[in-house]
Structure 1
Amino acid sequence: MKLFNFILHCGFVSLCWCRLNEEVTVASANEWIGPQTQCFHGSQENCPPLSDPCRCKKVSNNSVVCCNVDKDSLNITCGNSKMDTILNLHIRNATLDVLNITSATWRQLISLAITDGYIGEVAGEFGKLTKISCLNFSSNSITKFANRSLVNLFNLSVLDLSHNNLSVIPRFKKDGIVSLDVSDNEQLLCDPLFEALKGTELHFMNENDTSCLSPRTFHWFNTTELVPLREVISVHELRNECSFNCSCEPYRLDIVIGKPPTISVLVNCSGLQLMSLPPVLPPNTIVLNISNNNISSLDAMNDEPSYQHLRQLYADNNEITSILPLEGTNFFTNFVVLSLRNNKLKSLPTYILSNVFDRNNNFQHVNLGLNKLQCDCNTAKVLKEWLLAKQKHIPDYEEIYCDNIKSRVLDLDPSKLCQSQQDWTDYIYYIIIAEVLLLVFLIAKVSYDYWVFKTAGYLPWPASQMPKLPCDWLCE
């Protein structure tokens, strides 16, 4: 009856536990909890006394507990147990510099727990026919697993690696659901977590106590910063759900005092034959690459709130004709990089860019190379000088060309371009100066004549030769 109830229970809990052909006897309720939570656990009270040379004890028909073992005292069958009948094994307080798991000893086990000891590293790999479904290596200060240690555990459903010193998660099966606990591994890097999420469907245990280190992933801070597991999972979901056929990747870790760290996003939509900007960006997008498309306008950045965090826009090799739509946007005030190489810009509104550059010193860069402008006298005299003055903000200023003249903007000669009729306006200043000087002379002459008339009683020549006018009576 017990056997029937166990088989029926397996059908609902985990099919992999019913693939065994051997007769199975259920461990007592206080020794076993299903695979969805934890492995077989033998309490400290089950340990043999320290005076017993056999460090292992049989606690049920198919379960064994071993305590305080090292490489010389680990003998699972010394407690009158046959190896082929042991399905659940818990080793407590083991002291092993290297644990080699290649041995066939583990092949018939369903649950293996090695906890609360010291294991320097795990070497070798489980055999291909190993049936382990629940594996617990928690609280052992393990620093390293061999590359293929766990790849042959095709029935694996629970993997507990918590409270160790791992920096990398060992590889394991890529199919099915695995409950994984990697909490309290203070050296754990984020990259392996991302890779593990790509490979299989993971259910994380103790998610709130799990974090990873960011530098190798985000290349941002010189110091190491902890990223909560929730952020890593969010980025994984973002990768899978990135819209518009674009790719979404983590870019950097943003830390604000008093708030949990957040991961900023890079969205890559290059080479997708897009005719317009993506209508909506994922939250916290700060880098957008839309190069190598057929986009002609940046108008969508005016009204879409998801563009408000954007700091870098790469839009090379498109059909963009103007940067005027960016004026007044949050992006244009705070951007770091704006790259518009090889577009169809015909003019540069220098006043817009000057306002931005003057406020931010060396902070912002705009790439404009390989655009072909409509060049005229103003281009030669004004834009050319402006580019030279702002070259620290426009690193490819030497690659801006003219569309109507076969020349670079920097090679334009004002003396050749500024010969049209409107260039007479250059002489207006001389005319104004001459008129002012003539007015001053007339005022001085009249003043002198008046002074002579008052002191000598006659008008000097040529004032005396001028005919009298009707208004002269006012002076008499």
Structure 2
Amino acid sequence: MHFFHLLICLILISPIWSLLPPDDSSCNNQCFHQPPEACPSAESTCRCRRLPNCQKAAICCNVNYFTLKEGLACGNITAVGGIESLHIRNATFESFNVKLSNSVWRNLRYMTITDGNISRIDGEFAKHSRISCLNLSSNHINAIEDRALGTLYNLSILDLSHNNLTELPSVRKESVTLDISNNTNLICSKLTNTLISRPEIIFISENQTFCITTKDYDWFQSADILPFSQVKAGHELQKNCHRNCTCKIDRYVSLQGKSSTYQVAVNCSGKKFLSLPVPLPDKTISLDVSHNNITSIKEMSDPSYENLRWFFADDNQISSIQPLEGTKFISNFDTLSLSRNRIKIFETYVLDNVEFQRVSINIRNIYLGYNKINCDCNTMKLKAWLLSKLSHIPDHDNIKCDNINVKVTELDASKMCQSSQDWTDYIYYIITAEVVLLVGLITKVSYDYWVFKTAGYLPWPANKMPRLPCDWLCE
């Protein structure tokens, strides 16, 4: 009896259930996303359908250019259809032009295109589009036209994860949450440019975000993978850079068996510095301090200079390279540029142990042109050193004597060392003459003494000389 009462109640209230609003719990996500089970059935001729459990939401599956256009029409997904959330799954496009059905996209707040095979995103969304979340993940996308997302002024979330992008598209809105994780072809330099130009972008899934390093470092000829954390750390360099200097990532590198890292270039040229900047940022390999008033390079013995390989200090007042002796720079450098300084004497012994003929892509170079070399006989050592290293001294023709207008490499030893040689010869002549005179004097004295003892008188000129107090010794 109770069973029949319950059955009658169920029959009576079933029409009431049909009048209840649909469950929107699956549509209240921050970005609209539906599982494969929500797709139209395989037997359905229309590849798009509105979702019964989500108000103003629709899904299209397994579409191409033509079937998507037909599916939007047969699924009643139109500009006046009130659809605000749309998920397109497993779309196949060589190039997806977002101008397609722009009137439909204009009213969307959430647009999701995932799990497809799309090479490019082209075209441009209609102006004043309402899209706040755009999900283009897992589509094998290689490129997005730069203007494609330029009209999405309401965009706050952009998901480009699991694609094949090499660089990021431009977005108009200032603050955007961006997911670029698992894009295996991102170029690190392009990513760095985005960090610099758009510091307000919020990156998520950083632990799964990587980029490819450039292929221009020494003997490393293969691309390497760098984590986003390294790129971000490099971007923070400028905040901690030496006062008035510019710090930037010069290149990303990887040594065998070690994790990828970055190397830093510091530019302090034309800042009226009186001394070298200390300390340098960690991993600094290049320093440019040209066009300053630096007089000494003694700071290069500082530990922060130990990784330095390129040093440019042209147009300063440096007078000596002696402080480089014993530094790590002198053992590891690629370029030492000291043109237009005040170097009068170049201490070649500082470079005696440098291996110029090394096995490396980068040739070691030293620039010394337009210094004030004071040439004398000792400068012949510098000439010999230059002639042995001409291929490593690109500006050797500009290394000239300050006291005579001659290239150091063209100095004539017979002329530069002539005065010193003649003076030495004169000394030899004087010594010889003195020896001869001394022998003659001894001989004359001996002869006079012999005559005096045998004949009793002194020969001339001894008998003409005045008598001295010591003459009694001879009597």
TM-score by length of 1: 0.77
Answer yes or no: is the 8 Å Cα contact 2:27–2:54 preserved in 1: no
> Does 2:63 match 1:56?
no
Q: 1:331-364, CA deviations, whole angstroms, 9 ceiling, x for partnerless residues?
A: 1222121110111001011111122247969963
What's the counterpart of residue 94 of structure 1? 91
Answer yes or no: is the 8 Å Cα contact 2:214–2:251 preserved in 1: no
Q: Which amino acid aligns with 1:56?
A: R
What's the counterpart of residue 349 of structure 2? 351
Answer yes or no: is the 8 Å Cα contact 1:27–1:62 preserved in 2: no
Moved more, 54-63 or 278-287: 54-63
What's the counterpart of residue 276 of structure 1? 275
Answer yes or no: is the 8 Å Cα contact 1:47–1:57 preserved in 2: no
Partner Cα distance (1:134, 1:51) in 2: 31
Partner Cα distance (1:421, 1:171) in 2: 74
Partner Cα distance (1:382, 1:166) in 2: 58
Q: Which amino acid aligns with 1:73?
A: T
> Does 2:264 match 1:265?
yes
Q: How many matched pairs?
A: 401
Matches within 5 A, 1:73-88: 73-74=67-68, 75-76=71-72, 78-80=74-76, 83-84=79-80, 85-88=82-85
Q: 1:301-320, CA deviations, whole angstroms, 9 ceiling, x for partnerless residues?
A: 22x22111111101111111
Partner Cα distance (2:239, 2:150) in 1: 24
Matches within 5 A, 1:275-294: 275-294=274-293
Q: 1:84-130, CA deviations, whole angstroms, 9 ceiling, x for partnerless residues?
A: 42221111122223222122221121111000112232221112201
| 1:164 CA displacement | 1.6
| 1:273 CA displacement | 2.2
What's the counterpart of residue 373 of structure 2? 373
Matches within 5 A, 1:221-300: 221-239=220-238, 241-300=240-299
Q: Structure 1's 218 and 61: CA in aligned 2 closer, same or farther, altered over 3 A?
A: farther
Moved more, 108-117 or 88-97: 88-97
What's the counterpart of residue 43 of structure 1? 35
What's the counterpart of residue 308 of structure 1? 306
Q: Which amino acid aligns with 2:152?
A: L
Q: Which amino acid aligns with 1:350?
A: T
Partner Cα distance (1:196, 1:332) in 2: 37
Write out the 4+ residue segments of structure 1 that deviate beyond 6 Å after TM superposition. Answer: 216-220, 426-432
Q: Which amino acid aligns with 2:411?
A: L
Which of residues 39, 59, 66 in structure 2 aligns to 1:65? 59
Answer yes or no: is the 8 Å Cα contact 2:24–2:55 preserved in 1: no
Q: Which amino acid aligns with 2:366?
A: V
| 1:420 CA displacement | 3.2
Matches within 5 A, 1:445-464: none
Q: Which amino acid aligns with 1:340?
A: L
Partner Cα distance (1:354, 1:29) in 2: 78
Answer yes or no: is the 8 Å Cα contact 1:337–1:366 preserved in 2: yes
Moved more, 291-300 or 247-256: 247-256
Q: Structure 1's 325 and 27: CA in aligned 2 closer, same or farther, altered over 3 A?
A: farther
SS in structure 1 of the partner of residue 226 of structure 2:
strand
What's the counterpart of residue 32 of structure 1? 28
TM-score by length of 2: 0.77
Partner Cα distance (1:283, 1:397) in 2: 34
Q: Which runs of 5+ in 2 are unaligned?
A: 1-20, 432-475
Answer yes or no: is the 8 Å Cα contact 1:120–1:142 preserved in 2: yes
Q: 1:107-161, CA deviations, whole angstroms, 9 ceiling, x for partnerless residues?
A: 1211110001122322211122011111101111122222310111112111111
SS in structure 1 of the partner of residue 394 of structure 2:
coil
Q: Which amino acid aligns with 1:369?
A: G
| 1:256 CA displacement | 2.0
Partner Cα distance (2:406, 2:76) in 1: 94
- Name the Cα RMSD after superposition: 2.9
Answer yes or no: is the 8 Å Cα contact 2:215–2:223 preserved in 1: no
Answer yes or no: is the 8 Å Cα contact 2:215–2:221 preserved in 1: no
Partner Cα distance (2:23, 2:371) in 1: 76
Answer yes or no: is the 8 Å Cα contact 1:110–1:134 preserved in 2: yes
Q: Structure 1's 350 and 243: CA in aligned 2 closer, same or farther, altered over 3 A?
A: closer
| 1:202 CA displacement | 2.2
Q: Structure 1's 258 and 355: CA in aligned 2 closer, same or farther, altered over 3 A?
A: closer
Answer yes or no: is the 8 Å Cα contact 2:79–2:103 preserved in 1: no
Partner Cα distance (1:51, 1:429) in 2: 119
Answer yes or no: is the 8 Å Cα contact 2:343–2:373 preserved in 1: yes
| 1:28 CA displacement | 3.2
What's the counterpart of residue 210 of structure 1? 209
Moved more, 333-342 or 39-48: 39-48
Q: Which runs of 5+ in 1 are unaligned?
A: 1-24, 433-476
Q: Structure 1's 245 and 328: CA in aligned 2 closer, same or farther, altered over 3 A?
A: same
Q: Which amino acid aligns with 1:318?
A: N
| Aligned-pair identity (%) | 45
Answer yes or no: is the 8 Å Cα contact 1:191–1:217 preserved in 2: no
Q: 1:30-85, CA deviations, whole angstroms, 9 ceiling, x for partnerless residues?
A: 33333xxxx21112222221222332222422222222222223233644556442
Matches within 5 A, 1:107-186: 107-173=106-172, 175-186=173-184
